[in-house]
Amino acid sequence: AQTVSRDADGVVTVGGIPVTRIAEEYGTPAYVLDEADFRARARNWRTAFGADADVFYAGKAFLSRAVVRWLDEEGLNLDVCSGGELATALSAGMPADRIAFHGNNKSPEEIRRAVEAGVGRIVLDSFQEIVRVAHIARDLGRRQRVQIRVTVGVEAHTHEFIATAHEDQKFGIPLAGGQAAEAVRRALQLDGLELIGIHSHIGSQIFDMSGFEVAAHRVVGLLKDIRDEHGVELPEIDLGGGLGIAYTSDDDPREPHEIAKALTEIVTRECEAAKLRTPRISVEPGRAIVGPTAFTLYEVGTTKPLDGLRTYVSVDGGMSDNIRTALYDAEYSVALVSRSSDAEPMLVRVVGKHCESGDIVVKDAFLPADVAPGDLIAVPATGAYCRSMASNYNHALRPPVVAVRDGEARVIVRRETEEDLLRLDVG
């Protein structure tokens, strides 16, 4: 976990630095990311899966050049899903053959850049894309390594999963109705492509492994059909990301080694039953690596008690730096971090400064009743999908990401300025 503690004055310190100092030097709101924690989590995933498997960090959760370097140093691969993420990865020196390129509508230009760069795999998401990638690769005189993303009819979120016959969603090619088998047939015929495996991603914030079990069963079923029809055993399968983290104390996430063990066992068992060689497994955790490593530091601006209801605590950010509460009804906790307090806990709703009543950061939480303007509060577990989904709504300036490590802080993504905003404004 993050190296967080309180000093004698009640000020929370992270990575050896008091949050009050971070606020003074870098301002608020700010995402404060613990580099040692990030590296430890990345390494944990890497060692849990071992040399016979690959871990691709999902860059959509949070990507910057510093993060790419940490991943490279810790031996992880990288999943990107846009030309922008690809450019970030390459510019920070991630070897192209350790990059996987995803997306349900990659542009021809993006595909060309990925093939030219020599990415390790492109994950094909539609029939049209199979042909598109094959043509571009042939044009460039390449044979591109690809996987086909299939939808296995499993949708998993948190504690539940549903397995259905077909899935009504934009990603992947359904196994149902023989569509995935047809996609494989076509991919195997095209010289621009080297089909190396099948990909499946079943959802987000998952705690229950049974969804992966059904997914693995169905993917291995496809591998077996491919072997029977074409005499080819595809060497890889990717089971996607989606492993859950603790946003509040109600969540109980699984450790990487348990996940690695469970996934390896499921795939091995299914392959033995189908008399297939066990393929190389890969996974794509994003949230589970970066989510818990950062918190958002805000300054309280106003407090507004509403009799018999709750107190609204307004901070200097909001839905522009964390859209997840408004978008998914996500749950977060909050703590007073610039001092300790003996005051009674009081029911609060932490809201932002945007012109929208749905601009909520933490829906229901408790803070000491004496919380007041000028206090610093922190919302934990905002490392994933907060900076990466941040917006300029109301011309908010997107906050910096400050990395702390061994008593030192440094900015890895700087705060936006008004000049940054105005630079795009023409005329």
Chain positions contacting ligand LLP, by CB under 6 A: 58, 60-61, 79, 102, 201, 204, 240-243, 284-288, 324, 328, 384-385
Which of 26, 56 has the CB closer to ligand LLP?
Answer: 56
Query: Which residue reads 């530091």 in tokens?
Result: 297
Which of 142, 280 has the CB closer to ligand LLP?
Answer: 280
Which of 100, 334 has the CB closer to ligand LLP?
Answer: 100
Q: Is 286 annotated as a binding residue?
A: yes
CB of 47 to ligand LLP, least distance (A): 18
Which of 23, 123 has the CB closer to ligand LLP?
Answer: 123
Q: Is 285 annotated as a binding residue?
A: yes
CB of 327 to ligand LLP, least distance (A): 7
Q: Is 109 annotated as a binding residue?
A: no
Which of 142, 363 has the CB closer to ligand LLP?
Answer: 363
CB of 302 to ligand LLP, least distance (A): 28
CB of 76 to ligand LLP, least distance (A): 13
CB of 81 to ligand LLP, least distance (A): 7
Which of 31, 385 has the CB closer to ligand LLP?
Answer: 385
CB of 203 to ligand LLP, least distance (A): 8
3-state SS, the chain, equals CCCEEECCCCCEEECCEEHHHHHHHHCCCEEEEEHHHHHHHHHHHHHHHCCCEEEEEECCCCCCHHHHHHHHHCCCEEEECCHHHHHHHHHCCCCHHHEEECCCCCCHHHHHHHHHHCCCEEEECCHHHHHHHHHHHHHCCCCEEEEEEEECCEEEEECEEEECCCCCCCCCEECHHHHHHHHHHHHHHCCCEEEEEEECCCEEEECCCHHHHHHHHHHHHHHHHHHHHHCCCCCEEECCCCECCCCCCCCCCCCHHHHHHHHHHHHHHHHHHCCCCCCEEEECCCHHHHHHHEEEEEEEEEEEEECCCEEEEEECCCCCCCCHHHHHCCCCCCEECCCCCCCCEEEEEEECCCCCCCCEEEEEEEEECCCCCCCEEEEECCCCCCCCCCCCHHHCCCCCEEEEECCEEEEEECCCCHHHHHHCCCC
Strand order of the β-sheet with 154-158 is 160-163, 154-158, 203-206
Q: Is 385 annotated as a binding residue?
A: yes
Q: Is 356 annotated as a binding residue?
A: yes
Residue burial 174-213, b: 16+ Cβ < 10 Å; e: rest: bbbeebbbebbebbeebebbebbbbbbbbbbbbbebebbb
Q: Is 400 annotated as a binding residue?
A: no
List the catalytic residues.
Answer: 355
Question: Residue ranges for the binding site for substrate?
Answer: 287, 324, 328, 356, 385
Question: Residue ranges for the binding site?
Answer: 242, 284-287, 324, 328, 356, 385
Question: Residue ranges for the binding site for pyridoxal 5'-phosphate?
Answer: 242, 284-287, 385
